[in-house]
Amino acid sequence: MKYSMAWLSYRRLPFCEGKEYFRKIYVQEENEITGSAVYELCRGAKELLGIKTVVIKLPETFDQDKREKTEEGIYLLPDSKGPVGGGYRIVEENGRIRITAAEPEGLLYGSFDLIRQVQRGVSLRGINRLKLPDNPLRMLNHWDNMDGSIERGYSGNSFFFRNDRVLVEERTEDYARLTASVGINGVVINNVNVTEKATRLITGEYADSLKRMGEIFSKYGIRLYLSLNFAAPMELGGLETADPEAEEVRAWWQEQMKETFRNIPSLGGFLVKADSEGRPGPLTYGRTQAQGANMLAEAVRPYGGIIIWRCFVYNCTQDWRDRKTDRARSAYDYFMPLDGKFEENVILQIKNGPMDFQVREPVSSLFGSLKNTNQMLEVQIAQEYTGQQRHVCYLIPQFKEILGFHTHCREEEDTVADIVSGRSFSHKNCGMAAVANTGSDSNWTGHDLAAANWFGFGRLAFDTSLSAEEIAREWCECTFGTDKAVVYAICKILLMSWPAYEKYTSPLGIGWMLSPNNHYGPNVDGYEYDRWGTYHRADHLGIGVERGKTGTGFTQTYLEPNASLYEEIETCPEELLLFFHYMPYTYRLKSGKTLIQHIYDSHFEGVEDVEKMVNLWEGLKGKIPDEVFKRVKLRMDHQLDNSAEWRDQINSYFYRKSFIMDEKGRKIY
């Protein structure tokens, strides 16, 4: 299948100041990663500028500090005193551009950065950029299944697996190019729900294919990771138990890991989902999450392996009649008592919120509370609950809010960004992960504009200081060019999209008013009487889940002053009001509106915002490729119809509950 290269689909530029730099590329240290950097610079020169590049090997004795006489061109220079951890510096001086870094990965990232500047029409004269990655680990988690399907996948089938085979094709390398170009350095290729054939990925059965895939990833500075099945000793080894404290289980894992790392030398480690949604785990045997994770950490330690342990552990047989048990508390209640008990090569991967990637949630209270444990932030760019890549929903503004949240774990450097970067508590095994949104569709992400979330996550994980606006503009200019009208319209659509989606779906942090199982479209009571703990508690007087001291007590899992902030109705942020409190429909918000009027107004406003987004897109006809225009237009028309359905169902539901009229007299059914 023919597919695009998204933001690396280079278009010939009519003019580029400084294109002469690209006629010669000088490289001093040759290895597979610097080889990829040279390849990318040559490809960019050819496709963007129409230039054939000459690559020249510099002698090992070349010393840039001595200002040796050199010609114009681009110099890739290792520098033991230069930026580390994937950092790089780009400096132009007297017709020469020097990209320097202490490690090959930095030279690769610097090369991609230079190409981005060319794509965006930025002058290279006098450029001086020093970039250091904010997060050590910047990962994508794919939920791909061995049969080729993708759990919560909205962009076609898997390009990693098909019919229980591991695929290593041309698209594998193109995926690595795209992923590395935005600074991502780790990829988990299989679903966290590991069953049947996927359990065997750690055996020799798939070793050759995984080794080849790992080698391709390595060329682009990416480590390959796998999800594993905690019950593998029983399913593969024939043991009667998977108890992490059983000697035979520990011995089995140690032997298996010796084989796995021998077969796949580039393997970085494993992602584990345990004791959640029916998955096996240490709780089955009366053991703690730390005992389970540490047993695996011991087995992978000799090979430099890392165990990434998801904190998605909760009781999924909750009784809707029970108003004290709270799914939102589960991660905190399980993991907070274990702070400091995990091995150094274990990282707890914590979802951004306490529930499950809703359009609006508070930040997980584990962030800031855990001080002696490695942590990663997990977000989702797959839009499972935010329109499933059928709706535009640019999530980088949401991620910026999460990263900027002050936990008050310290007087300074107390934000989520500080914690997952390692700044707060001097952790080195930490970072950010996103549940991926790619598939076999020709544009990779189903909705062409959804690629902004893939691009944006990588750029933000590398440089958390970037604004959502800056990232949107970068992506747009690299993808569609620098036409001002195009850039303005698409950036406007992207930046309107998350607030619009929130307006026409679930109000004030309540979440979950959607269809069970497929998680798409409005269904207000779809989850109200089930086992998943996802309730809104609406009755004829009001709505919301009481999580204060008189309710589930979840507010008290936060550090002060956040605990008091959320506890008191007067200080609770209104966008989270119904997440933390049951409120009467007649309660007046700071705007002066009643709660019920806010529900009505926001849902009408959300649809109006989508209408504006559709009009902005229609104004781009003829200015972007026709195929892309038509594909996006179909999805945006669907979004408009679907947003109206959300508006009408939500407003009608609450009118019928409350019997309070819309003050503006609009049509409510």
Task: Just list the catalytic residues.
Answer: 277, 356, 384
> Where is 655: in which H helix or E strand?
helix 626-658
Q: E strands within 368-481?
A: 375-380, 431-435
> Where is 313: in which H helix or E strand?
none
User: What b/e readout covers 647-658, taking b as 16+ CB neighbours within 10 angstroms?
Assistant: bbbbbebbbebb
Check if the beta carbon of residue 583 is closer than 8 Å to that of residue 544: yes
Give CA angle at 359 (358, 360), nearest 5°.
90
Locate 579 and state its tokens: 């997440």
Check if the beta carbon of residue 88 is closer than 8 Å to that of residue 109: yes
Query: Residue 587 gets which letter from DSSP?
Result: P
Cα separation, 502 vs 523, in Å, equals 15
Check if the beta carbon of residue 547 is closer than 8 Å to that of residue 535: no
Check if the beta carbon of residue 381 is closer than 8 Å to that of residue 479: no
Closest to 601 (Cα-Cα) out of 651, 536, 649, 643: 651
663: number of Cβ within 10 Å: 12
Check if the beta carbon of residue 287 is closer than 8 Å to that of residue 244: yes
Cα separation, 573 vs 643, in Å, equals 25
Residue with structure tokens 């598939």?
Answer: 439
Contacts (Cβ under 8 Å, ≥6 apart) of 470: none
Cα separation, 412 vs 64, in Å, equals 39
Helix, strand, or coil here: 431? strand
Check if the beta carbon of residue 72 is closer than 8 Å to that of residue 43: no
Q: E strands within 80-219?
A: 88-93, 96-101, 128-131, 137-141, 161-162, 165-166, 186-188
Q: E strands within 172-323?
A: 186-188, 223-227, 267-272, 306-310
Sign of CA dihedral 628, 633, 634, 636: positive
Phi then psi for residue 434, to 5 deg, are -130, 135
Check if the beta carbon of residue 68 is closer than 8 Å to that of residue 28: no
Cα separation, 326 vs 554, in Å, equals 8
Check if the beta carbon of residue 375 is closer than 8 Å to that of residue 420: yes
Locate 513 and state its tokens: 């008013």
Residue with structure tokens 């944006």?
Answer: 456
- Cα 374 to chain center, whole Å? 18
Query: Residue 395 gets which letter from DSSP?
Result: -
Residue with structure tokens 């994937």?
Answer: 86
Check if the beta carbon of residue 176 is closer than 8 Å to that of residue 219: yes
Locate 518 and state its tokens: 């497929």
